Structure 1
């Protein structure tokens, strides 16, 4: 146990200078920092905002896994998606039902982002940000409106949140002895049961707030790591606008065993927001070196400019194209890339992404029983389009 605590302390003390904790606690946000390199993936830092939100002391949290905040109504599939993201060392966001120390459940927006070492590119920490998700009050629900109008109180804020909060009997008698008599009736309990089981979607403002918080945290970590010369990468999480890759979409894309990338059509310079494992093997790059980059980083001295211009023109007109272009791996060895690019539209018909499928075409002779490269590429395009449209269709229905 002592050796584990020593590792947890070293996780921070050896990489950042002494004032990093103080500076992080000056941030108003609720967040944790965990270390995936230590057995059990424990929390190595918890902000004051986090401790206040969940009701724990620092000693009760440090060294523990985030599982301690889950409860009987926490969605098992959401937990699986979070584990998948951590295993694949990628950022994600999800609405999650968690529990405070006193047992009260609440909905929150949960974003995680890997922190990379600049020296070797490995993931050294994960930052997790928690933003409570509030629901709009329902007009016509007089008992709930009365509680909200009272303000403050023990249960007033609880019923404004997207969760079922059950106050203790003693608190009820002290605060709302008569007013809550009808609210805690059988019918109201059934209504609350429905609310806790209904997932609450975060607003764009809440998502933007969470992303800004993560970037502020990363800026602090970068600053204090530079002083110890154990610098972390400036790689950022990409959670902008409609470009957020839902955890379910990431899971679906991960099943496609082909080299491809997904770029965000709505962002400046169309950064890569997803890259397959086969792509990393083909090019030799790591995830932290690819996400957020434009695809032209694969080009080199002998890449044909006219081919690049052809690709750019097709993207601007939202047309598909297939080219054979000379690209370069991380070790700068060239390879002929048989590349297909296609627009991917969401359920509303708007181009959300472009998918680029790469096949190493450096003098290979394909067996007659193999699918042709172009057919393989089209099958990937089809799979990606189905995944994107299914997800966006579900979210807008």
Structure 2
């Protein structure tokens, strides 16, 4: 069972680490999306600047083409009429045409570079936009998934903790069953079994004396009758502890009254038992549960509380049964209940009482202060048998 607890603790750590890793991934995706958006803005600005430069360059190329065309016409004119122009004018005409040709070639090459650069920027801008959109979608999906996953994983942890408690309760039940069997076996061995052996022995003595010493045989038969009566009482007590037949024959209230009277006689503790309201028909499962609750509460008071006064109030209100048990014992710290609940050796006690009540869809409340006693407030709905939880 200890290993199981460790597994639950480790699973809880794994769940937290998983959620933390997803949150970290979400933060990184935020960074990626933000970087992509910044890159989109930078590329858009660079693309706009490049487009403006391209427009100016195209205009410049158009001007140069016109100038070159004019220069070529002038050069052809000079070449045809070289005798009308000086050598210097001819040289300048050639140089001007060459310079325009070179400048135009540079501008056209620059234009091609701008066009290629623009195409590259447009592709990069599209990719950056896609990256930002994908990151936004992933962030949204992770947010949804994280919400679902967090809820699911936390629910798994709660279910495992609940399963752990149920397994612990199951082990307590098995342990309690074995202890109860041992107790019953010991009571039968020390009580009725020994008495039956004594009865057999006395019967054999009577058999020997019946002819030889009738008076003594009669005396032994009286002793035998007394032993049989005591044995019968012991057997009835054992049967009553297992399940009081009076619950079926007399009902819940008379059975509790009888049990409380017996408890007072054995412990000399003052017990006040009051009832309020009437319920003519109580389902057997509810009667048995309430009896066991009182039995367990009184047992706890006897073992631990050392109380001098106990008050038990049973109320039938509308469709509910309310049970209030108060004592003036030494009390305890209710924070220790969880620790005891996880200890298989702590027995049933208050945890089993809570389980019994919750199986009937009831409410269980305990209040205790060290040195000031303990009070139990229990509410059980008077429901049909078919509605009783089988949890």
Measured against the shorter chain, the TM-score band is under 0.3
Taking structure 2 as the reference length, what is the TM-score of the superposition? 0.21
Structure with higher helix content? 2
